[in-house]
Amino acid sequence: MSDFDRYTRVNKFEKRRKNTKLMSLLTIAGSFLIILLIGLWIFGPDDEPEQPNNIASSNDNTTESENQNEEENIDETGSDTGQDSTESEESSTQTEEDESNETESGSDESNENLQDPGEKEQVDPAANDDKVVEAYTKNWQPIGTEQEGTHSVVYEDGSQDRIEMEKALQYATGLSEDNIITWWLQRNGDQNVIGTVSDKAETQTYRVYISWVDNQGWQPTLVEVLSENDQKWRFE
């Protein structure tokens, strides 16, 4: 065998051995990569995708807690508001009662300051009227006035003159401010008025004659006790 043939055979063998070794290395590297990918797929972290759900759950819990606190605050506020409203209504009612009592007390005190008119004196009625059961006078005095200057009779509700006229009617009949109905006021000549009044139960009806006294106010002059209210028809 020649040297050339020996050299050629050796080269072929070396070349084949290197190819075999390279193929083995590539096979091992490929197998390792495949195993690595399979391992990552199987044993990779599964919790990461669930993280948004955990965050949402935490947010839901926080929201529920806040809502619960808001509801508690609303309940407490509502309860306090209701209590404050009740207290306010009670205070308002008490204030109205106090004002009413003060008004009645003021009226009673005003009438008490007037001189006791004494006993009744029976007289004839001012006119022939079969409805008059009794007619009398007393030693009434003018009730006083807050009006100044020339006096003109004013029948309008709430006017100072009307208030003083009704006070004179109470004084003459003895009815209190909270137990009197003024049914009618009518002119009876210059600076003279006739008033028809009753108690609120309408068991007592009076026709009262009053006259104006300059700088002293209205003065009752005659009271007629009536068997029936002859002015009620105006309101039926």
Q: Provide the whole-model pTM.
A: 0.55
pLDDT of residue 120: 95
SS3 64: helix
Q: Is the pLDDT score of 137 beyond 90?
A: yes
- Mean pLDDT confidence for 80-85: 48
CA distance between the termini of the chain: 159
Calculate what percentage of the chain has a pLDDT beyond 90.
49
User: Is residue 149 left, alpha or beta, with left meaning phi > 0 and alpha meaning psi from -120 to 50?
Assistant: left
Q: Is the pLDDT score of 77 beyond 60?
A: no
Q: How far is CA 110 from CA 46, 106, 173, 217, in A?
A: 96, 6, 15, 13
Q: Provide the mean pLDDT of the chain.
A: 78
Using the structure block, give the residue that is written with the tokens 């006021």: 185
